[in-house]
Structure 1
């Protein structure tokens, strides 16, 4: 009787841990952007945050959603992708709004339908970002529909999804290197990135996710650590008189 109770208790604990892990996966990816959002809103300055981070995550999670139709993976990862896309559009909307308000002289509007590669992902209105991602989603969905029976194609889509996400910190890494500073970037965001990516990669390993997921997750953790190293290297280059500089929320 005791061993039956013990097995039932272990099973219950296992279910609870599974649900907690799934919930952490769903909302954990969003949490790092809360301090960055608050910092941009407080300082009215979005220059320290690279919008290419949002582009990388929007592309990655859109591809991951499409990959799910070719090879079903766990639902928490699918839900996480949907929520992350919404979060990234919220970040883009804030950054575009702040940037437009800061312009003392109204510049010529740059929109997606200009199809000017020089200003790609640097448009003046939020609608252009929506249009761009809508076109990308339609095109990639059509390709998946046509080639869904070709497993090589499906696996390539899965790899591109997780590799793009793994490289999401790269634009911020490059921006910090060019500026020789991490001003305007929320350090809290990067710390939470690192913690979340370590958890996520461990989750991939323990849950037997496709191999692309945990390999690229390891790459993502590496980039996070490099950005944290930049914070240490460039700490003497920050301007203490600048509002919100290096403030951890």
Structure 2
């Protein structure tokens, strides 16, 4: 029982806190070293930055474990660095592999049946990316200041942004699942990355359900969904391997490429 308490009290929280660094530092350095972000989806920083902002503003109403709050600040730092490096070294659309730097590369209108309004998060200029993040931050501060004096309404608002933020984060594996299914191949998706995701999910679930500190059900539900997605990725890896997949999809690229994406 002492070992479980030690893992729950010290090892698991520390693992949660440093996970943004262990997951994304290598990807950031790899892009910087190669001077190219081809094969990396810019949707990864989008998902993680939005989720982390919402989680931080969820904290005043939920008062969850501070390890998760610290992780959110570290995640924002890492994802900001990753986005900056990816934008600085983004290949032009006409270059080989250039399309792979676009979010959800390979998924055009007709695959999902919808296109992004105003080319959201597919802009060629870096400025709109930072403007969007700034406007999101300002909007969250404004909502916090306006709604906090009304406890009943603020409680509903806090729960809403908590579930939205964690739900957004839980969608992170979905583009990779879709890409593997369409190409019938996991080429470009490293086994070590998948293994680290699943190991992280196991540690996270263990901590969520054994921690003595308060862990809201929003974290548990979204964590369980995320773990199911990661396990399904494992099934896809077993089914498809690194084969060439369907010949008709030879030009199709996985949206996540060879990245170490994920946290929490």
Shared fold by TM > 0.5? yes
User: Structure 2 CA distance, aligned partners of 1:62 and 1:154?
Assistant: 13
Corresponding residue for residue 211 of structure 1:
217
Q: Distance in 1 between matches of 2:130 and 2:30?
A: 24
- Structure with the higher helix share, 1 or 2: 1
Partner of 1:229: 235
Q: Which protein, 1 or 2, shows the higher relative CO under an 8 Å CA cutoff with sep ≥ 6?
A: 2
Change (3 A) 1:15 1:145: farther
Alpha-carbon contact 2:13-2:67 (below 8 Å) kept: yes
What are the residue-to-residue correspondences of 1:143-158 with 2, within 5 Å?
A: 143-148=143-148, 149=151, 150=153, 151-158=155-162
Contact conserved, 2:36 with 2:91, CA < 8 A, in 1?
no
The equivalent position to 1:164 in structure 2, one of 139, 164, 168, is: 168
Within-5 A mapping of 1:42-191: 46-100=37-91, 117-148=117-148, 149=151, 150=153, 151-191=155-195
Task: Check whether the contact 1:32–1:188 (CA below 8 A) recurs between aligned residues.
Answer: no
Shift of 1:122: 1.7
Partner secondary structure for residue 91 of structure 2: helix
Please tell me whether the aligned partners of residues 49 and 184 of structure 1 are also in contact (alpha carbons under 8 angstroms): no
Taking structure 1 as the reference length, the TM-score comes to 0.75
Q: 1:41 deviation in Å?
A: 5.0
* 1:230 Cα offset (Å): 2.9
Of the structure 1 ranges 78-87 and 133-142, higher mean CA displacement relative to structure 2 is found in 133-142
Task: Flag structure 1 segments of 5+ consecutive residues without an equivalent.
Answer: 1-9, 108-115, 240-244
| TM-score of the aligned structures, taking structure 2 as reference length | 0.71
Cα shift at 1:36: 3.7
Unaligned runs of 5+ in 2: 99-115, 251-256
Q: CA RMSD in A?
A: 3.3
> What's the secondary structure of 1:78's corresponding residue?
helix
Larger gyration radius, structure 1 or structure 2: 1
